[in-house]
């Protein structure tokens, strides 16, 4: 089952020809979540062969243009494609007032409904849940109210070993209770080693998206142990004062967060367009935390 992030845009506010503003697709098996929606999102989705009809939830970290100027085009295109299923947008409550006049003018015959789910910015909160995935908002610290998002697979049940079904003559009730982790006793009353009964479920995977934010250590408990952390790293640390005044993070700071939160891997992004070559940002981060990748447009990052 696939768990991957596709970067649609990796740059900060001034896009370049090959680094679009922020947007990502998180894929969790057959679920596709759109995270932020910078200008050009729909074209990047085409480039990455993302099926538009599979997106039902959009998560917008904050209402700065470079994170949402692709939204009208995306919404309009969904309508032209004949969508009829509801689209849910998780965003700051201001979004509705900003969007509705435009929708009324440009998309008057939109064949599907838009549901607005208001984010709150005081503490982490579960904002989405289905059978397989939980999404949690994670307040960040930026010029305006901003949330990161943590996507977690729910724990899966272990699979019963086929040979065990025959050996111990397991009925449905047995299987259900074993899958629930309850002990099983053979016909001689001996407890059977769980490893002989089940193939353990894979560890649930997790992804945290943290952009835009100043260096904000308060997020560490919430993201501790995630498999993959995307954290903004707008600047090199030599511009730490600019990072601070513009409420952004340096590569070194992002790596420090990754290290202290003991994450599996760090992807840095939201690069200032002053950096033509991104290698120094990666190198700076790797001095603190080894497992770092650059967010590059149209690249997919898998969690196995």
Which positions are catalytic? 66
Q: Give yes or no for a contact between 62 and 142, defined as CB atoms under 8 angstroms apart.
A: yes
* Residue span binding its own copies (CB under 8 A) among the ranges 72-80, 116-124, 127-135, 224-232: 72-80
Q: Which of 81, 113, 126, 199 binds its own copies (CB under 8 A)?
A: 81
Kindly state the DSSP code that residue 13 receives in the 8-state scheme: S
Q: Does 203 bind its own copies (CB under 8 A)?
A: no
Tell me how far apart the alpha carbons of residues 289 and 44 are, in angstroms, rounded to a whole number: 30
Q: Give yes or no for a contact between 293 and 301, defined as CB atoms under 8 angstroms apart.
A: yes
DSSP secondary structure of 130-149: -SSEEEEEEE--SSS--EEE
Tell me how far apart the alpha carbons of residues 221 and 206 are, in angstroms, rounded to a whole number: 14
| Residue for token pair 């447009």 | 297
Distance of CA 220 to the CA centre of its chain: 16
174 assigned to a ligand binding site: no
Closer Cβ to its own copies, 42 or 213, answer by number: 42
Q: Which of 6, 10, 24, 42 binds its own copies (CB under 8 A)?
A: 42
Beta bridge pairs of residue 4: 27, 302
Q: Does 39 bind its own copies (CB under 8 A)?
A: yes
CA distances from 129 to 31, 56, 85, 152, 191 (A): 12, 13, 18, 10, 36
Q: Which of 31, 63, 96, 141 binds its own copies (CB under 8 A)?
A: 63
CB of 1 to its own copies, least distance (A): 27
212 assigned to a ligand binding site: yes
Closer Cβ to its own copies, 88 or 272, answer by number: 272
Q: Does 20 bind its own copies (CB under 8 A)?
A: yes
Q: Does 85 bind its own copies (CB under 8 A)?
A: no
Q: Does 185 bind its own copies (CB under 8 A)?
A: no
CB of 176 to its own copies, least distance (A): 47
231 assigned to a ligand binding site: no
Tell me how far apart the alpha carbons of residues 158 and 180 are, in angstroms, rounded to a whole number: 8
Tell me how far apart the alpha carbons of residues 158 and 200 are, in angstroms, rounded to a whole number: 5
Q: Does 145 bind its own copies (CB under 8 A)?
A: no
DSSP secondary structure of 73-122: HHHHHHHHTT--S-EEEEE-THHHHHHHHHHHHH-TT-SS-EEEEE---S
Phi, psi of 132 (to 5 degrees): -115, -20
Q: Does 296 bind its own copies (CB under 8 A)?
A: no
CB of 14 to its own copies, least distance (A): 6
Tell me how far apart the alpha carbons of residues 66 and 23 are, in angstroms, rounded to a whole number: 9
* Residue span binding its own copies (CB under 8 A) among the ranges 28-36, 101-109, 127-135, 179-187: 101-109
* Residue span binding its own copies (CB under 8 A) among the ranges 68-76, 163-171, 193-201, 256-264: 68-76
CB of 39 to its own copies, least distance (A): 4
CB of 25 to its own copies, least distance (A): 14
The pair of three-digit structure tokens given for residue 208, joined into one six-digit string = 């945290």
Q: Does 102 bind its own copies (CB under 8 A)?
A: yes
**Residue ranges of the binding site for Zn(2+):** 62, 64, 66-67, 142, 212, 270
The residues of the shown chain that bind its own copies, judged by CB under 8 A, are 13-17, 20-21, 39-40, 42-44, 46-47, 63-66, 69-70, 72-73, 76-77, 80-81, 94, 98, 101-102, 105-107
**Residue ranges of the binding site:** 62, 64, 66-67, 142, 212, 270
């Amino acid at each position: 089952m696939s768990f991957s992030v596709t970067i649609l845009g990796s740059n900060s506010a001034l896009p370049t020809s090959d680094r679009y503003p922020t947007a990502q697709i998180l894929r969790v098996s057959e679920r596709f979540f759109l995270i932020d929606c910078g200008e050009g999102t729909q074209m990047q989705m085409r480039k990455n062969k993302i099926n538009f009809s599979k997106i039902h939830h959009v998560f917008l970290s904050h209402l700065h243009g470079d994170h949402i100027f692709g939204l009208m085009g995306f919404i309009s295109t969904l309508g032209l494609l004949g969508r009829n299923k509801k689209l849910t947008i998780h965003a700051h409550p201001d979004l509705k007032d900003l969007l509705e006049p435009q929708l009324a003018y440009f998309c008057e015959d939109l064949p599907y409904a838009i549901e607005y789910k208001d984010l709150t910015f005081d503490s982490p909160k579960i904002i989405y849940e289905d059978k397989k995935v939980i999404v949690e908002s994670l307040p960040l610290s930026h010029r305006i109210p901003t949330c990161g998002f943590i996507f977690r697979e729910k724990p899966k049940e272990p699979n019963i070993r086929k040979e065990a079904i025959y050996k111990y003559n397991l009925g449905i009730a047995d299987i259900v209770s074993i899958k629930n982790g309850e002990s099983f006793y053979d016909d001689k009353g001996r407890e059977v080693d769980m490893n002989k009964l089940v193939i353990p479920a894979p560890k649930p995977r997790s992804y945290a998206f943290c952009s835009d934010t100043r260096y904000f250590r308060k997020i560490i408990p919430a993201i501790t142990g995630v498999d993959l952390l995307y954290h903004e790293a707008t600047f090199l640390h030599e511009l730490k004062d600019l990072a601070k005044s513009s409420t952004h993070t340096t590569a070194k700071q992002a790596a420090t967060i990754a290290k202290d939160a003991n994450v599996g891997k760090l992807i840095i992004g939201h690069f200032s367009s002053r950096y033509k070559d991104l290698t120094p940002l990666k190198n700076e981060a790797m001095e603190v935390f080894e497992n770092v990748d650059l967010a590059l447009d149209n690249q997919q990052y898998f969690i196995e």
